[in-house]
């Protein structure tokens, strides 16, 4: 069995949330490491799982700062939901990675 890894929300300026809500990045196989990458280039988001593009979508808005903490593995709501697994080698870049760079990171195990 497995479960899905999702992006729930991305904070944007003006107090709103970007339309990345509920995007599924792919199924997670139990007891197996999976490599997930999401890039944003302008208004285009691209998702990869194990070096394979799984989704692309459009969403406008300027990414902005928030008073809320940056959180991985937890969906914040009145009842928080925790990811039941391990996260390793989380990276945040100030630019969108190319498909070749995603492949390089995947091959390096990062």
Low-confidence ranges of the chain (pLDDT < 50): 1-2, 8-13, 15-19
pTM, rounded to two decimals: 0.73
Predicted pLDDT at 43? 81
Where are the extended beta strands (E) located within the chain?
A: 2-7, 23-29, 36-41, 44-49, 52-58, 74-75, 81-82
**What value does the mean pLDDT of the chain take?**
73
Alpha-carbon span 100 to 75, nearest angstrom: 30
Secondary structure of residue 102 in the 3-state scheme:
helix
* Residue 50, number of CB atoms within 10 A of its CB: 14
Strand partners, 55: 47
């Amino acid at each position: 069995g497995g479960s899905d890894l999702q992006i729930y929300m991305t904070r944007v300026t003006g107090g709103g949330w970007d339309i990345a809500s509920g995007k599924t990045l792919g199924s997670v196989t139990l007891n197996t490491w999976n490599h997930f990458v999401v890039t944003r280039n302008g208004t285009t988001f691209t998702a990869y799982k194990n070096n394979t593009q799984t989704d692309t979508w459009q969403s406008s808005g300027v990414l902005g700062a928030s008073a809320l903490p940056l959180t991985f593995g937890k969906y914040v709501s009145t009842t928080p939901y925790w990811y039941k697994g391990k996260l390793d080698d989380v990276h945040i870049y100030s630019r969108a990675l190319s498909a070749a760079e995603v492949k390089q990171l995947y091959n390096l195990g990062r």
